Amino acid sequence: MKKVLLAIVLFLPLVYLSLELFIFQDVTDPIKYIYTITGATATVILFITITLSLITKWINLIKYRRMIGLFGFLYALLHFLNFYILDAELDFAFVIKETLDKPFIYLGMIAFFILIFMAITSTKRLFKKYKNYHKLIYFALGLITIHFIMAQKSLTILQIIYVLLILVIGYCKLLQQIINKNKI
């Protein structure tokens, strides 16, 4: 039951996006709107996956980490597909050109390829083999953060708060690693 409820909650941003685009039709630039919703949702969900171990004393969702992470990948995939299908209109040459010309796009692409690898190797059998490589999520989230800030072309107070939150999470995770190493 918890898994179903969690899946419903994780699908809510997609439901909201669909309602805004197809029912309310209150969006002036649909492509940019899809970028914003899918990108922000992917980022938030991926950051939630790395904070789960920090909050286990209060809420233990560790057994759902894989599912939550795969939902984060789903939104990242939708973000990429928005770029490839709607923005680039399936023009692979345009995608390559844009990726090489705009640093924020190639940072996003590098992060996306890391997420693809992590999604593919998230099965129980493959995770045992590639567990250490899953620490690349921290690098990917760093790239995603830079991608997000560069794509906006200006730094708002919300983005500053976002970056500070990321730094706090990073500090807490580092502290957690140090404490865990000293326990052994």
Domain containing 136 — which CATH number? Answer: 1.20.120
Q: How many CA atoms lie within 13 A of 120 on its CB side?
A: 7
> 107 by DSSP, 3-state: which?
helix
Could you tell me the mean pLDDT of each successive run of 10 residues in the chain, 184 residues long? Answer: 93 95 88 94 94 86 94 98 96 93 94 97 93 91 90 82 84 86 75
Q: What is the pLDDT of residue 26?
A: 80
CA dihedral 54, 57, 62, 63 (to 10 degrees): 180
Whole domain around residue 138: which residue ranges?
A: 2-183
Tell me the pTM: 0.90
Residue 184: predicted pLDDT: 58
Number of domain units in the chain: 1
> How far is the first Cα of the chain from the last one, in angstroms, to the nearest whole number?
36
